[in-house]
Amino acid sequence: MATRTIGEHTTVTTTGVRRKRFSESYIGEWITTTDHKQLGLMYLITGFFFFVVGGMEALLIRTQLALPDGKVLSPQVYNQIFTMHGTTMIFLFVIPVLSGFGNYVVPLMLGARDMAYPRMNAFGFWLLLLGGIFMQSSFLIGQAPNGGWFMYAPLSELVAGHAFEATPHMNADFWLLGTTLLGISSITGSLNFVVTIFKLRAPGMSINRMPLFSWMILVMSFLLLFALPSLTVASVLLLLDRHMGSHFYQYGNGGDPLLWQHLFWSFGHPEVYILILPAFGIISEILPVFSRKPIFGYTFIAWSGVAIGFLSFTVWAHHMFAVGLPSIAQAFFATSTTLIAIPTAVKIFNWLATIFQGKIRLYTPMLFALGFIAMFLIGGLNGAALAVVPFDYQITDSYFVVAHIHYVLFGGTALAVFAGIYYWFPKFTGKLMDDRLGKWHFWVTFLGLNLTFFPMHIMGILGMPRRVYTYPANLGWNDLNLMASIGALIIGVGVIMFMINFIKSLKYGQPSGDDPWDAFTLEWDTTSPPKKYNFLEIPVVRSRRPFYDKKYPEHADWKSVVEH
Amino acid sequence: MSQEQKDHVEQSVQAEESDVTAAPLNSTPSPDSAPVEKEPVAAEGTTTTEGATKRGTTGKKRTRARGRLVNAEEVMPRPSIWPLGMAFSIAFVLFGVIAGPIFLGIGVVLLLVCCLGWILERR
Ligand code: HEM
Ligand SMILES: [Cu+2]
């Protein structure tokens, strides 16, 4: 199938008059599509929609905390808002957007006509959308999840022994069922990616010629496949506890509350790498193109991603240092956590070597990519600090951890996502995004994010716990909190600039041509936007930069570059 | 995107002029050696898609078409409503878990219907 050539349409309707099928109407086309590109865009749009929802929740949090003794939200509502903020951003923004890029770009990069299982692909998308709506609809009945994005048992139990009510209403149920739905969605998506990547690569594209973004999507898919079951198991056990009278997490009845934490974090830590690895992939695509050099140390970047994938299953209890683990366990998890910083640092050095002495073109995607490196570096360093057990004892569950999360997830993943959007927007639409407005967007976001999240390190060290709904005025936290809230507003302005740019470019954007960045990989070796079937003839690949080879045959990589 | 579907009908391709055949002789041969089942229909003068025009600029004329020439609808996945139906029913089942046995029952029935629909759908 792979090299078949799309030819003339042989079954032209003879009569010319035929009733339009449902799948050809405007709405029908959206809801019945199995095309990886359209589904990819639907993932991206959905993800971005939830980014805005989660962002508004964040602004509510920061409004409440801007001044001491804030009265904007009640304690009960505050719990729901911060829980839904984290849950939305992780499960409904980052994962969908990254899968969206994967869906759109990976088959094109591999020289394939679609994903391996197109209908399953659509199924995954709809589950995601319905799961998201399901979870957010909990606000309508005032019972949104309120136990934090990690929903610790036994507080999330209906009753936690001794007739003490923990979460008596449906709040936790929404979370448990919603994440289960999203889990099914992610499993189908991952299976699809794995099979697509293993089976549908263009002739000549051996696995070590595959673009790094596809590599990282592959690792992400394996992580999801192996990590999600423990979340699902944990959720089902908790549902049984809540509704069927079992006692898995109830100490008083012979259960074990720590079981939840172990199950959750053995999903949760791989999960955080699920959220960052495709971002690494995006960066590894953008840097070479905008530095006019091949990526430095391809093999190292690819395999350090795999190493991170394996290691990420061995570090989960670093989220649990404070529960009183045996000291041998603490030593083990501190060591493995520190180890994981090595492959991560390898990548950073490779990226720096890639741009070193390159002919750098500072367009918006590149700006975001460079911003990513700087911000992710801070996030990695304060992560390494948290891996030091005595330090973690002091700082765990404080705003320092919140700072860490956001440097890796906002400074890291979100910036990479924006980089990806600016980079692939011409592919999606055939138009360029406004570069000047894009640069404004970058600098405003960059300023806002540092103003919001840097002070959180200090708040944490000064002892401000995370997840408190307010604080008294006499603890010395006031200025820092105000700064963070102003920063959050500035990020909001940045997001609005992005939306204006997006809509404006969609309507009036400058035509980009098929290959505006003079790129290296196969997704650009077709029209922008691509036809339904992607390629008229499946390309044949002879190096890691097939499109570069085609455009510059005199300097083609396969003539000179030895691939390890 | 119904415009694209029209493109399927209208497009015809110069398959014998591809970038692959234009590659130097020591190039990796394409592993696909399926026999040519249909003569490439298009010649100069027929409508070509932009892709084809761009690709066929080598000037050299090769007569051997590579691989089998197929039409787009044959290789591309068809649209289907069942993925949405299936997702909806699973969501309904889980909703039934908290909303009560009646909803659960409806959800299970829906799920079975969608399974059947998905399986029996002609591709
Ligand atoms: C250099 C590598 C990293 C190290 C050494 C590291 C270490 C840690 C440690 C020890 C904690 C637990 C802190 C505590 O609760 O007391 C933590 C929390 C966290 N990390 Fe990292 N981390 C790293 C990279 C990342 C990355 C890449 C991400 C995601 C993209 C991430 C996301 C998170 C999140 C979300 C939490 C907080 C979970 C929560 O309690 O809500 N980390 N990290
Ligand atoms: Cu972790």
> Can you read off the two tokens belonging to residue A323?
């529960």
Contact yes or no for B19 and A180 at CB 8 A? no
Residue nearest to atom 4 of ligand 1 (CA): A383
Q: Tell me whether residue A28 is in a domain.
A: no
Residue A512 bears catalytic tag:
no
What are the distances in angstroms from CA A158 to CA A210, A245, A250?
49, 10, 11
Q: Tell me whether residue A8 is in a domain.
A: no
Nearest to A492 by CA among A47, A60, A41, A43: A60
Q: Does residue A216 contact residue A284 with C-beta atoms inside 8 Å?
A: yes
Q: Tell me whether residue A537 is in a domain.
A: yes
The predicted pLDDT at position A553 comes to 87
For residues A188-197, average pLDDT:
97
Residue A273 bears catalytic tag:
yes
Q: What is the pLDDT of residues A76-126, one digit of tens each?
A: 999 999 999 999 999 999 999 999 999 999 999 999 999 999 999 999 999
C-alpha–C-alpha distance, residues A289 and A295, integer Å: 9
The predicted pLDDT at position A17 comes to 64
Show residues of chain A in contact with B81, CB under 8 Å: 22-23, 31-32
Across chain A, mean pLDDT equals 92
Show residues of chain A in contact with B19, CB under 8 Å: 537, 539, 550
For residues B76-94, average pLDDT:
91
The predicted pLDDT at position A520 comes to 94
C-alpha–C-alpha distance, residues A126 and A33, integer Å: 11
Residue A162 bears catalytic tag:
no
Question: Which atom of ligand 1 has the smallest separation from the CA of A276?
Answer: 30
The predicted pLDDT at position B23 comes to 34
The predicted pLDDT at position B43 comes to 34
| Strand, coil or helix: B62 | coil
Q: What is the pTM of this model?
A: 0.87
Residues A36, A209, A318, A431: which is the catalytic one?
A: A318
Q: Is the pLDDT of residue A2 over 50?
A: no
Please provide the DSSP assignment of A398-453 as one string: BHHHHHHHHHHIIIIIIHHHHHHHHHHHHHHHSBPPPHHHHHHHHHHHHHHHHHHH
Distance to chain B for A189, nearest Cα, Å: 13
Residue nearest to atom 43 of ligand 1 (CA): A383
Long-range pairs of A352-355 with CB within 8 A, sequence gap ≥ 24: A353/A296, A353/A297, A354/A287, A354/A288, A354/A291, A354/A293, A354/A295, A354/A296, A355/A287, A355/A291, A355/A293
Q: Tell me the three-class secondary structure of A342-392, residue by residue.
A: HHHHHHHHHHHHHHCCCCCCCCHHHHHHHHHHHHHHHHHHHHHHHCCHHHH
Question: Which atom of ligand 1 has the smallest separation from the CA of A381?
Answer: 1
The predicted pLDDT at position B22 comes to 34
User: CB of B86 within 8 Å of any CB in chain A?
Assistant: yes
**From the CA of A392, which ligand is nearest?**
1
Q: Tell me whether residue A55 is in a domain.
A: yes
Q: Is the pLDDT of residue B89 over 90?
A: yes
**B88 Cα: distance to centroid of ligand 1 (angstroms):** 35
Distance to chain A for B49, nearest Cα, Å: 9
Q: Tell me the three-class secondary structure of A56-123, residue by residue.
A: HHHHHHHHHHHCCCCCCCCHHHHHHHHHHHHHHHHHHHHHHHHHHHHHHHHHHHHCCCCCCCHHHHHH
What total of structural domains would you count in chain A? 1
Q: What is the pLDDT of residues A482-499, one digit of tens each?
A: 999 999 999 999 999 999
Show residues of chain A in contact with B53, CB under 8 Å: none
**B50 Cα: distance to centroid of ligand 1 (angstroms):** 48
Q: Does residue A459 contact residue A424 with C-beta atoms inside 8 Å?
A: no
Q: What's phi and psi for A162, nearest 5 deg?
A: 50, 35
Q: Tell me whether residue A16 is in a domain.
A: no
Contact yes or no for B9 and A130 at CB 8 A? no
Residue A555 bears catalytic tag:
no
C-alpha–C-alpha distance, residues A90 and A84, integer Å: 10
**Banded pLDDT at B45 (limits 50, 70, 90):** very low
| Domain CATH for A476 | 1.20.210.10
The predicted pLDDT at position A163 comes to 58
Substitution site in A90, A269, A272 for ligand 1 pocket (most atoms within 8 Å of beta carbon)? A272
Q: What is the pLDDT of residues A370-384, one digit of tens each?
A: 999 999 999 999 999
The predicted pLDDT at position B123 comes to 61
Q: Is the pLDDT of residue B61 over 80?
A: no
Contact yes or no for B20 and A23 at CB 8 A? no
The predicted pLDDT at position A8 comes to 45
Q: Is the pLDDT of residue A1 over 50?
A: no
What are the distances in angstroms from CA A323 to CA A63, A259, A266, A397?
32, 12, 15, 12
Q: Is the pLDDT of residue A437 over 90?
A: yes
Q: Is the pLDDT of residue A529 over 80?
A: yes
Q: What is the pLDDT of residues A311-341, one digit of tens each?
A: 999 999 999 999 999 999 999 999 999 999 9
Q: What is the pLDDT of residues B11-39, one digit of tens each?
A: 333 333 333 333 333 333 343 333 333 33
Q: Tell me the three-class secondary structure of A259-304, residue by residue.
A: HHHHHHHHHHHHHHHHHHHHHHHHHHHHHHHHHCCCCCCHHHHHHH
Q: Is the pLDDT of residue A512 over 60?
A: yes
For residues A195-213, average pLDDT:
95
Best of A536, A541, A544 to disrupt the B interface (most B CBs within 10 Å) is A536
**Banded pLDDT at B122 (limits 50, 70, 90):** confident
**From the CA of A383, which ligand is nearest?**
1
Q: Tell me whether residue A430 is in a domain.
A: yes
Q: Does residue A270 contact residue A186 with C-beta atoms inside 8 Å?
A: no
Residue nearest to atom 19 of ligand 1 (CA): A405
Q: Spell out the domain ranges in chain B.
A: 2-75, 82-120
Range of the domain at A387: 33-560
Q: What is the pLDDT of residues A22-80, one digit of tens each?
A: 777 888 889 999 999 999 999 999 999 999 999 999 999 999 999 999 999 999 999 99
